[in-house]
Amino acid sequence: MTQDEVFGKVVEILSKYSKSDLPADKINMETSILDDLKINSARLVDIVLDFEDVFDIEVDDDDADSVITVGDGVKLIVSKL
């Protein structure tokens, strides 16, 4: 799976939880999950669980804590594939 494919799936997952009016086509690797997408920190647990299910990976707590931007999530997933 390419980084672009991972990015597309990550945006799909994040869109389910986003409280922002930011359109999906404006989301990029630097987009902040908490600030720009207005996803609260409690929802990050659900997002990480979705990452694990969709990509069939395991994410430990330290790795999950390092996901601040969309790009952080994409890089983490790519490193686990």
Residue 61 belongs to a domain with what CATH number?
A: 1.10.1200.10
Cα dist. 54→9, 13, 21 in Å? 8, 9, 25
Rounded to whole angstroms, how far apart are CA atoms 64 and 20? 22
Structural domains of the chain, count: 1
In sequence order, the 6+-apart residues with CB closer than 8 A to the CB of 75 are none
Rounded to whole angstroms, how far apart are CA atoms 11 and 13? 5
pTM summary value: 0.89
Parent domain of 54: 3-80
Residue 72 exposed, middle or buried by CB count within 10 Å (0-12, 13-18, 19+): middle
- Tens digit of pLDDT per residue, the chain (81 long)? 899 999 999 999 999 999 998 888 899 999 999 999 999 988 999 999 999 999 999 999 999 999 999 999 999 999 999
